[in-house]
Chain A
Amino acid sequence: MSGAFQPSRSPLLGAYALFVYLFLYFPIVVLIVYSFNGSGVGGFPPSGWTLDWYHQLFADASLWDAVLNSVMVAAVAVAIALGLGLPAALALDRSQFPGKALFRRLVLLPLILPGIITGLSLLMLFVGMGMKLSLVTVILGHGTALISVATTEIFAGLQKMDRAQEEASLDLGANHWKTFWRITFPNLRVSLIAAALLIFTLSLDEIAVTFFLIGRDNTLPLEIWSRLRRGITPEINAISTLILLFSIATILIWYRLRSGTQSAGDVQTAAGLLPSSLEGES
């Protein structure tokens, strides 16, 4: 025998994979189709194509207020998560300190912990501190929960970096700060942009933590949530379709940036989902 392992053809497995894709995409397609449906949500077959729901959407002031709030929250959350995730990743990658294992677990816990627990604990903290619930508490919540994503993303970038450049810089007499700004930071730029995109998207969609920390001003998901209680309307299909298109676009850009800096096989662990992905390499 010679050459690489040859994948065998297996039509049954292929058909099953197709079925899984259909399952994953069926609701998404339904959602988009019915956002153009003249006779409202539901019923079959959809009839009377229309853009009315999108027109209604663009005239809906309170919805756009919510969009604005969400964008603001997401932007600040990105700043917090990156501002703390970058040093956290540097610390985990190249420094030893007491309590490092606990620190790693704690930072990464919000990745897997159901949002309700993070949300409730923070609610108790803010109430205990006498803070009024507002977009500020939402921002603190998002920032804290998403440090985990920033840390895993940036850590993955650090692991891929060519250390020789840093060592050369240090050998040639630059101190650590100079080396960081001249070598490490520029090399991490793509990882940082990719992390920012992912965090922005996740914050824009966040609902479980937000649910407990929201004050008077709604974020977009919370605004949609409160409208869902009053019944479903095709207008929600229309805004959902737009949200979906936006997240698909950012996810694809994120993926491209990611696979540009690393080999394709590593992207999945870089998606920041495996808490154990930060182990052993420190």
Chain B
Amino acid sequence: MPIFDQGYQHWSGTLSGHGWRWLAITRHGVRIGMKSWFLRIVILLGWVPALGLAFVLCLWGLVEQKSNLVAPFLEILARLFPQLVADPRHYRVEVWTICYDYFMLTELRYSMILIVIVGRTLISQDLRFNALPLYFSRPLRRIDYFAGKLGVIVAFVGMVVIVPSLIAYALGLLFSLDITIVRDTLPLLLSTIAYGLVISVSAGLFILALSSLSRNSRYIPIFWLVIWLGSAISGFILEKADRG
């Protein structure tokens, strides 16, 4: 035994209340997830559409100012859509909406991949390593456990959907140098946040349900893919039938 070993010491710190206990699970899940280089790459790739969104919004900001920086682009645009260049502010909401629409559509598909990568192990690994007795012998309710695990998915989806869209919005605002842009596009921003939350909560609940079905997390992407593609195909067929 080392000479400086003091053996067991009592601890006299304070414990937090029960209300935020789920946050410990979320923080831990995010930390463990970020250890994976594969997941880090997936998140970085998820930022590529956001870069595109930010680029277009910034470009549009400069178009609205008729900046010399985008003079060649303005010339091309003037030939194609002369009314657009004549009064770009008039088309602001449409342009921003189209940009965000494409961004969210891309991120929706990307989120489905991200959610399955993050979510498949969240409960199945706890089942495999029999971690549930360790959780529930501590002051934790089932809802805390579940909320903590869902929080992990919301955090990761937020990283590729909500945070980039907020940054792109801020950049677009900065490049337009016009505060009225907030009045025009704030509902768009709020809708984006709400859309990100809806995606992460609904798909997150579903992947957690799948994750709790098996101790082997390898099967879960297969279930996920079958249900995702199956529901898309069914939706397509029903839509065609309805129109036909």
Q: Do A and B come from one complex?
A: no
Interface residues, chain B, CB within 8 Å of chain A? none
